[in-house]
Amino acid sequence: MRGRSKPALMASVAALFGLAFAELLAGQEIIDRIAARVENDVILQSDLRELSRYQQLVDGKAEPDEQLLDRLIDQWIVRTEGEASRFPQPSDADINGGIERLQKSFASAEEYESRKKQSGLSDAEVRRMVASQIYLSSYLDSRFRPSVQIDAKAIEDFYQNGVVPRAQARGQTPPTLEDARELIQEALVQRGINEQADRWLKESRARLHVDKLPGKETK
């Protein structure tokens, strides 16, 4: 019996290869999608997922995807500005300190490890997220702190309307104004930084070309 002709054999091989490839693709899950296009860059669904897991680790819950995406767009703005100005990345010591502070925010090391396991984050992912948060907050601090001015009256008002009532509500003796002055001033500075950063981000978002793309939650 004569063998198959070369064209027929090639067609058969191609058909078998195509079938195998189709079966391979059918057995795979889509692991990522584009959540938004920001200028010439993209934010991925995996970025949303990672931020969501980090919020679950830190706060015990995560914001809805729409709010997470807005946060990632804000982070894109800050990071882009920081990199353009060659703002330095955090050192290993800074990152280690950030991780230590995160761990100490839990009642015990066991509680931290349990929450981390529930969030699905690895140690490397936690380190990357902590490094990112340090970079973003450090850049905003350096950009806006010099323009924040706090006067004595603002400190006194915060003491009388905030510190004293809160201590009394807990049945505690409030600290003296002088003892609390430095902490109050820093709290007011941080509030001023946040207010200026919010205004700047709002103005920056208005100038951006952003396309938010619908997509299913990734695996």
* C-alpha to C-alpha distance for 79 and 153, rounded to whole angstroms: 35
- 81 belongs to a structural domain: yes
- 167 belongs to a structural domain: no
- 72 belongs to a structural domain: yes
Residue 127: domain span:
34-146+185-212
What's the domain count of the chain? 1
pLDDT tens, residue order, the chain (219 aa): 444 454 444 444 444 445 444 444 444 445 689 999 999 999 999 999 999 999 999 999 999 999 999 999 999 999 999 999 999 999 999 999 999 999 999 999 999 999 999 999 999 999 999 999 999 999 999 999 999 999 999 999 999 999 999 999 999 999 999 999 999 999 999 999 999 999 999 999 999 999 998 754 444
The count of other CB atoms within 10 Å of the CB of residue 130 is 22
- 5 belongs to a structural domain: no
Is residue 32 within 8 A of residue 44, CB to CB? The reply is yes
- 88 belongs to a structural domain: yes
The per-residue pLDDT for 213 is 87
Starting at the earlier edge strand, list the strands of the sheet with 41-44: 41-44, 34-38, 210-212
The per-residue pLDDT for 18 is 52
The per-residue pLDDT for 16 is 46
187 contact partners, CB below 8 Å, separation of at least 6: 158
- 219 belongs to a structural domain: no
- 64 belongs to a structural domain: yes
* C-alpha to C-alpha distance for 83 and 139, rounded to whole angstroms: 10
* C-alpha to C-alpha distance for 154 and 146, rounded to whole angstroms: 17
The per-residue pLDDT for 31 is 67
Q: What is the CATH number of the domain that holds 120?
A: 1.10.4030.10
The per-residue pLDDT for 23 is 46
Is residue 55 within 8 A of residue 62, CB to CB? The reply is yes
Q: pTM of the prediction?
A: 0.79
- 65 belongs to a structural domain: yes
